[in-house]
Copies of this chain bind each other. A is one copy, B any other.
Amino acid sequence: MKPLHHPSIDTIPYTKVLHALSEPNRLRIIRCLRESGENNCSTYSLELMLNKSTVSHHIKILREAGLIKGRIEGKEHYYSLRKDEIEQKFPGLLSSVFAVKDEDL
């Protein structure tokens, strides 16, 4: 069980964050995390109707872009938004993401 790596926000280019957010399923994951605070992968496999390996892939990209952080509890992985850090480094970005209407994704 290797621990999850969470990059320092300072090392992450803005374009990398935008790229992570520019995939519709990943954007849905981020928006879902705002509502629920914390979720695990099986939640998204169900909600997005994606294979679990695909979800794992998207989660990894979001994590490496500094957008989410993970916590392992038993055999479940829980993820949450790195809200304050992102807001500190890239002010207004997450507000913009959450302001968008579902039908405009």
Which residues on A are within 8 Å of B, measured CB to CB?
A: 13-16, 18-19, 21-24, 27, 89-93, 95-96, 99-100, 104-105
Name the prevailing secondary structure of the A interface residues: helix
Q: What B residues does A24 contact at CB under 8 A?
A: 13, 15
Q: A15 vs B23: C-alpha distance in the bound complex, in angstroms?
A: 6
Asked whether, in the complex, the Cβ of A100 is within 8 Å of the Cβ of B14, the reply is: yes
Closest to A14 in B: B100
Additional pairs, 9, CB under 8 Å, beyond known A13-B105, A14-B105, A90-B100: A13-B104, A15-B23, A18-B19, A19-B19, A92-B92, A92-B93, A92-B96, A92-B99, A93-B96
Residues of B close to A18: CB separation below 8 A? 18-19, 21-22, 27
